[in-house]
Amino acid sequence: MSKAPFKQYQDSVVDKLQKAFSQEKEIQLAARWIADCLKIEGWIYTTGTGHSHMLAEEIFYRAGGFARVRPIFDEALMLHKDAAASTDVERTEGYAAKLLESYPISSKDVFFISSNSGRNAVPIEIAQLAKEKGAKVIAITNLQHSKSVQSRHSSGLKLYQIADLVLDNFGEIGDASIAFDGLDGKVGATSTVIGTALLQSIMVQAVGLLLEEGITPEVYISSNSDAGEANNQALLTQYKPLVKGL
As a whole number of angstroms, the distance between CA 171 and CA 195 comes to 10
* Sequence ranges of the domains in the chain: 5-239
As a whole number of angstroms, the distance between CA 200 and CA 205 comes to 8
pTM of the entire predicted model = 0.95
Residues 158-197: tens digit of each pLDDT: 999 999 999 999 999 999 999 999 999 999 999 999 999 9
Q: Residue-wise over 189-208: b if at least 16 C-beta within 10 A, else e?
A: bbbbbbbbbbbebbbebbbe
For all residues of the chain together, what is the average pLDDT? Answer: 95
Q: Which CATH superfamily is domain 5-239 in?
A: Glucose-6-phosphate isomerase like protein; domain 1 (3.40.50.10490)
Burial class (CB in 10 A: 0-12, 13-18, 19+), 69: buried
Average pLDDT over residues 18-28: 98
